[in-house]
């Protein structure tokens, strides 16, 4: 069963309505003086300025040997230099490869080596990390600063002013909808990051499905990083609609609503995971409902997030997406099916399968696999990783690595990442379900549930928790709170109280790091404390 709002039925657009350089040219001609983007430092660009700056940057890249089909690295926060680097590369027919500003050491070396880039635009505070690694093909740095740092990292360096090339330059290459604007690295929450090769149509489809409610009158506040699909797709939505954007470098709970009001933003790049949780837990204010937010993407849908939408007076959609895809599952506006990530949008098929790719029945847990009836709307593969590409595309379907169920009405429900599910004494446990019960405790700000090896085989349930400001968490009291609320086999054996959970820059909790740390010396052990649990025997 397929049921989607009208704007979630994307049709393949003409090149002029899809390719980045064409869209900028289009709006610069139609609305030259309209503001396209506001920056955190107060600067702004109109559409005509955006076109001029993008073309100047393309000319500067060309003068440094970059040609159509080449890759350019960007190691930058959300700022004007990141935007001009993306647009400039695309005007030239080159591909931008933005990388995580938290990378260093092995992860940084992997990203640089995988990119094949000879040129990187870099923030000055990051350059010293380059001296710790092999540079691979990298030769040249353009430093996002008027002055060059007094550092020797073995690479040629120039200041950011060199990006002011000839804005009247002409470029021979005319990108098509199947060409590659960006290579985006996955979050790496369950393993090494992979470079996702996108197409213009892939990026456009993601944007116009996820933000299909946007019009030219909207402004989208973007605080997800530009090395993540949440950042790039929201910029792309503004490009596609001729709308405007307000770009900030990261999410901050205290500053979020003031930023929204100050910029007049009517939508945002998304309230996902911990972001929504943090806003839900803020003290109510008399003017909560007095804000310009009209629509947003909200996930997951729970009692708390529904209450958040009512409290702040906005509408929402939810769904399922990942860097490789283009929002295959989506919900209609304000649909209140708890935990549902929607139904398949037009143009895609979704199945729930077992480990042998055989479809399972309604309400049974399996892996979500997807395919599209049109080319180029999903990713083109993992850059320089054909083995991972082949593994993901088994039997003609893309395997998401996510466990879901599907009800009789065709609604899909996310259960867990396949690698995050916990196997304890014959029981499969959703880490998400454990976390929802832990979140119900009044003192819990954030939580991660994960499995740790058990000497007898399989795993034990462990949670890492952080307390709300001004609160303390006692592990035994927390477990006693949980016992009447969950099945006995789900109650955590191990509880670790931390100041904050490790996260990616997109606010995804890094369970792989927590699992790697295992049972630490500061971890409380329920069994060692004498608090034992047993299955209830039914007579």
pLDDT value at 358 more than 70: yes
- Which of 106-115, 253-262, 435-444, 451-460 has the largest mean confidence? 253-262
Instruction: Pull the structure tokens for residue 82.
Output: 């990141």
At 506 the pLDDT is: 61
CB 280 within 8 A of CB 436: no
Q: Is it the case that residue 188 has pLDDT exceeding 60?
A: no
Q: Which residues contact 144 (CB under 8 A, 6 or more apart)?
A: 76, 79, 81, 121, 122, 123, 124, 160
Determine contact, residues 476/494, Cβ cutoff 8 Å.
no
Residue 340 to residue 71: CA distance in whole angstroms: 38
Q: Which CATH superfamily is domain 422-525 in?
A: ANL, C-terminal domain (3.30.300.30)
Cβ-contact 491, 534 below 8 angstroms: no
CB-based contact 59:165 (threshold 8 Å): yes
Name the β-bridge partners of 417.
Answer: 402
Report whether pLDDT(538) > 70: no
DSSP letter at 144? S
Question: How confident is the model at residue 347, as a pLDDT?
Answer: 93
Residue range(s) of every CATH 3.30.300.30 domain in the chain: 422-525
DSSP 371: E
Q: Which two tokens stand for residue 345?
A: 């949008």
522-537 tens-digit pLDDT: 999 999 998 877 655 4
Phi and psi angles of residue 509, each rounded to the nearest 5 degrees, phi first: -70, 135
Q: Is the pLDDT of residue 125 over 50?
A: yes
Tell which residue, 372, 373, 349, 352, has the closest CA to residue 361: 352
Q: What is the pLDDT of residue 166?
A: 93
Cβ of 252: how many Cβ atoms within 10 Å? 12
Strand partners, 140: 119, 156
pLDDT of residue 100: 86
Phi, psi of 331 (to 5 degrees): -110, 150
Most confident of 99-113, 181-195, 260-274: 260-274
What is the pLDDT, as a whole number, of residue 437?
86
The better pLDDT of the pair 82, 187 is held by 82
- With 90 as the cut, is the pLDDT of residue 4 above it? no
Q: What is the pLDDT of residue 5?
A: 57
47-198 CATH fold: Rossmann fold (3.40.50)
- Cα gap 347→206, rounded to integer Å: 13
Specify whether the CB–CB gap between 103 and 111 falls below 8 A: yes
Going by pLDDT thresholds of 50, 70 and 90, the confidence category of residue 133 is confident
* Cβ proximity of 145 and 121 under 8 Å: no
- Higher pLDDT: 297 or 4? It is 297
Mean pLDDT of 267-293: 89
Please state the rounded mean pLDDT for residues 255-267: 97
Question: CATH 2.30.38.10 residue ranges in the chain?
Answer: 344-419
- The confidence score (pLDDT) of residue 177 equals 97
Q: Give me the mean pLDDT over the 119-123 stretch.
A: 97
- Give pLDDT tens digits for 211-251: 999 999 999 999 999 999 999 999 999 999 999 999 999 99
More confident residue, 106 or 493: 493
Length of the chain: 539
Predicted confidence band of residue 539 (pLDDT cuts 50, 70, 90) = very low
Report the candidate in 430, 514, 432, 529 with the shortest Cα–Cα distance to residue 475.
529
Question: Rounded to an integer, what distance in angstroms lies between the CA atom of residue 515 and that of residue 462?
Answer: 9
Q: Span 497-502, mean pLDDT? A: 93
Q: 373-412 pLDDT, tens per residue?
A: 999 999 999 999 999 999 999 999 999 999 899 999 999 9
Tell me the C-alpha distance between 195 and 99, whole Å.
10
484 band by pLDDT with thresholds 50, 70 and 90: confident
**Rounded distance, CA 213 to CA 241, Å?**
10
Collect all residues with Cβ–Cβ distance below 8 Å to 120 and sequence separation of at least 6.
72, 73, 74, 75, 112, 138, 140, 141, 142
Q: Which two tokens stand for residue 398?
A: 């893309």
pLDDT-derived band at 505 (thresholds 50, 70, 90) equals: low
pLDDT reading at 300 higher than 90: no
Residue 1 scores a pLDDT above 50: no
The predicted pLDDT at position 453 comes to 87
What's residue 192's pLDDT?
63
Provide, rounded to the nearest whole percent, the portion of the chain with pLDDT above 70: 94
What pLDDT, in 10s, does the model give residues 427-478?
A: 678 788 788 889 889 999 999 999 998 875 678 999 999 999 999 999 999 9
Give 344-419's CATH code, choosing from 2.30.38.10, 3.40.190.10, 2.60.60.20, 1.10.3720.10. Answer: 2.30.38.10
Question: What is the per-residue DSSP string for 212-258?
Answer: TT--TT-EEEE-S-TTSHHHHHHHHHHHHHT-EEEE-SS--HHHHHH
User: What's the Rg (C-alpha) of the chain?
Assistant: 24
Whole-model pTM: value is: 0.83
Query: What is the pLDDT at residue 191?
Result: 53
pLDDT score, position 281? 83
- 495 within 8 A of 479, measured Cβ to Cβ: yes
pLDDT higher for 467 or 278? 467
Q: Assess contact for 71 and 211: CB atoms under 8 A.
A: no
| Residue 530 φ/ψ, nearest 5 degrees | 90, 5
Per-residue confidence (pLDDT) for residue 304, from 0 to 100: 84
- b/e for 137-158, b at 16 or more Cβ within 10 A? ebebbbbbbeeeeeeebebebe
- Region 300-325: what's the mean pLDDT? 92
Intervals of CATH 3.40.50.980 along the chain: 47-198
Averaged pLDDT score across all residues of the chain = 91
Give the Cα separation of 117 and 137 in Å (integer): 6
């Amino acid at each position: 069963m397929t049921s989607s709002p009208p704007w979630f039925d994307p049709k393949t657009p003409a090149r002029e309505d899809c390719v980045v350089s064409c869209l900028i040219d289009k709006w610069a001609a139609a609305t030259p003086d309209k503001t396209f983007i506001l920056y955190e430092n107060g600067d702004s660009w109109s559409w005509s300025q955006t076109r001029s700056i993008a073309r100047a940057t393309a000319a500067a890249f060309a003068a440094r040997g970059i040609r159509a089909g080449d890759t350019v690295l960007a190691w930058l926060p959300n700022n004007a230099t990141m935007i001009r680097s993306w647009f400039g590369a695309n005007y030239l027919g080159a591909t931008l490869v933005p990388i995580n500003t938290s990378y260093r050491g092995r992860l940084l070396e992997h990203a640089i080596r995988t990119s094949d880039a000879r040129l990187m635009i870099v923030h000055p505070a990051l350059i010293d990390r380059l001296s710790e690694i092999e540079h691979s093909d990298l030769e040249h740095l353009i430093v996002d600063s008027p002055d060059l740092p007094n550092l020797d990292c073995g690479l040629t360096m120039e200041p950011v002013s060199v990006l002011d090339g000839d804005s009247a330059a002409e470029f021979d290459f005319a990108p098509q909808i199947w060409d590659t604007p960006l290579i985006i690295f996955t979050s790496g929450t369950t393993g090494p990051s992979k470079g996702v090769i996108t197409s213009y149509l892939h990026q456009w489809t993601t944007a116009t499905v996820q933000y299909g409610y946007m019009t030219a009158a909207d402004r989208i506040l973007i605080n997800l990083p530009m090395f993540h699909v949440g950042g790039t797709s929201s910029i792309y939505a503004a490009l596609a609609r001729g709308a405007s954007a307000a770009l900030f470098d990261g999410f901050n709970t205290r500053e979020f609503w003031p930023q929204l009001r100050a910029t007049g933003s009517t939508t945002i790049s998304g309230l996902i995971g911990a972001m929504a949780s943090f806003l839900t837990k803020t003290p109510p204010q008399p003017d909560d409902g007095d804000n310009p937010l009209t629509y947003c993407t909200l996930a997951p849908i729970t009692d708390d997030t529904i209450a958040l939408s009512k409290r702040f007076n906005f509408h929402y959609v939810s769904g399922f997406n990942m860097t490789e895809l283009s929002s295959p599952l989506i919900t209609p506006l304000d649909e209140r099916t708890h935990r549902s990530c929607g139904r398949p949008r037009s143009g895609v098929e979704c199945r729930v399968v077992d480990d042998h790719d055989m479809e399972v029945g309604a309400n049974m847990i399996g892996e979500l696999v997807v395919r599209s009836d049109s080319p180029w709307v999903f990713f083109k593969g993992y850059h320089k990783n054909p083995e991972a590409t082949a593994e993901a595309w088994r039997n003609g379907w893309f395997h998401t690595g996510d466990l879901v169920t599907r009800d009789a009405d065709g609604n899909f429900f996310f259960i867990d990442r396949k690698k995050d599910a916990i196997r304890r004494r014959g029981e499969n446990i959703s880490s998400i379900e454990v976390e929802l019960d832990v979140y119900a405790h009044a003192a819990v700000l954030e939580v991660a549930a994960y499995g740790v090896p058990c000497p007898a085989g399989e795993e034990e349930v462990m949670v890492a928790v952080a307390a709300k400001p001004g609160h303390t968490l006692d592990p035994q009291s927390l477990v006693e709170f949980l016992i009447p609320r969950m099945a006995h086999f789900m109650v955590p054996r191990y509880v670790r109280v931390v100041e904050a959970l490790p996260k990616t820059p997109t606010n995804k909790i890094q369970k792989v790091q927590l699992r790697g740390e295992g049972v630490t010396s500061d971890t409380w052990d329920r069994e060692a404390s004498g608090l034992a649990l047993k299955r209830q025997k039914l007579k």
